[in-house]
């Protein structure tokens, strides 16, 4: 079984909604790193030297490759990434190998067989 790692950088207020959407699309779990910071095309706004940017979370989903695009699109849709600048970003990376995922493999095998 081959995996992809989906990484989403989102406003912390949307973390739970995006996690729910990813799970509905087939993700079996996630790792969340709180208090991420970043900057897009425009520099962060400041007021008297204090940043006005919202807090970000980094969500990481290890998913089966056949399900990855659907999960990625679900995350982007529910997060409103394309139509709302600064709402977030998500991307996927190929994973060469993974250990500790035997339980997920047995669950995912059934789901992938149904899709193929």
Q: What is the pLDDT of residues 24-45, one digit of tens each?
A: 999 988 999 998 776 666 665 6
Say which residue, 116 or 4, is predicted with more confidence.
4
What pLDDT score does 41 carry?
63
What digits encode the pLDDT tens for the residues 7-27? 999 988 999 999 999 999 999
Cβ atoms within 10 Å of 91's Cβ, excluding its own: 11
Kindly give, in sequence order, each residue whose CB lies less than 8 Å from that of residue 88, ignoring residues fewer than 6 positions away: 8, 9, 10, 11, 14, 18, 56, 79, 81
CATH topology of domain 3-115: Alpha-Beta Plaits (3.30.70)
The pTM score is 0.79
Please tell me the distance from the alpha carbon of residue 41 to that of residue 58, in angstroms, as a whole number.
19
Domains of the chain, residue spans = 3-115
């Amino acid at each position: 079984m081959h995996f992809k790692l989906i990484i989403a950088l989102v406003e912390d207020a949307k973390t739970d909604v995006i996690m729910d959407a990813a799970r509905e699309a087939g993700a079996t779990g996630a790792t969340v790193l709180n208090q991420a910071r970043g900057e897009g095309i425009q520099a962060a706004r400041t007021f008297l030297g204090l940043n006005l940017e919202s807090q970000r979370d980094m969500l990481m989903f290890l998913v089966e490759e056949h399900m990855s695009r659907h999960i990625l699109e679900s995350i982007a849709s529910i997060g409103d990434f394309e139509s709302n600048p600064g709402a977030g970003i998500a991307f996927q990376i190929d994973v060469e190998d993974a250990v500790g995922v035997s339980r997920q493999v047995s669950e995912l095998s059934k789901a992938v067989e149904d899709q193929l």
